[in-house]
Amino acid sequence: GAGVSQSPSNKVTEKGKDVELRCDPISGHTALYWYRQSLGQGLEFLIYFQGNSAPDKSGLPSDRFSAERTGGSVSTLTIQRTQQEDSAVYLCAIRDTSNYGYTFGSGTRLTVV
């Protein structure tokens, strides 16, 4: 959606490879979330960044998943040693604290073969 750009839009990778997904939000939004949308699991929270605070990593499914946010703007989600069950659409969202709204990016569709 407008305001959150994600890349790549599609990624096909071989099992065991590492992948890096990128989220580039418009400036000024300090609250950033990653979610995963997969068949059978619906939409699951992964990780949350807020300013300089320690991120909330409570939704990361395993230690193969990590994320960082540099300079309070761009965020990258890294999945190491990908497995077939990692296949999903990974969504990034920002929260607008002025109107309780959330804007989602178009997502990265990850396929692990």
Partner 1 sequence: GNSVTQMEGPVTLSEEAFLTINCTYTATGYPSLFWYVQYPGEGLQLLLKATKADDKGSNKGFEATYRKETTSFHLEKGSVQVSDSAVYFCADSGGSNYKLTFGKGTLLTVNP
Buried b / exposed e along 62-77 (16+ C-beta atoms within 10 A)? eeebebebeebeebeb
Binding mask 33-72 toward partner 1 (x if CB under 8 A, else -) reads: x-x------xx-x--x-x-----x-xx-------------
Is 49 exposed, middle or buried (CB count within 10 Å of its CB: 0-12, 13-18, 19+)?
buried
- Of 45 and 80, the one with the shorter C-beta distance to partner 1 is 45
Q: Does 8 bind partner 1 (CB under 8 A)?
A: no
71: Cβ contacts below 8 Å, ≥ 6 apart: none
- Of 82 and 108, the one with the shorter C-beta distance to partner 1 is 108
- Of 25 and 107, the one with the shorter C-beta distance to partner 1 is 107
Instruction: Kindly state the smallest distance separating residue 63's Cβ from partner 1, in Å.
Output: 20
**How far lies 78's CA from each of 95, 97, 106, in Å?**
22, 27, 18
Binding site for partner 1 (CB under 8 A): 1, 31, 33, 35, 42-43, 45, 48, 50, 56, 58-59, 91, 93, 95, 100-107
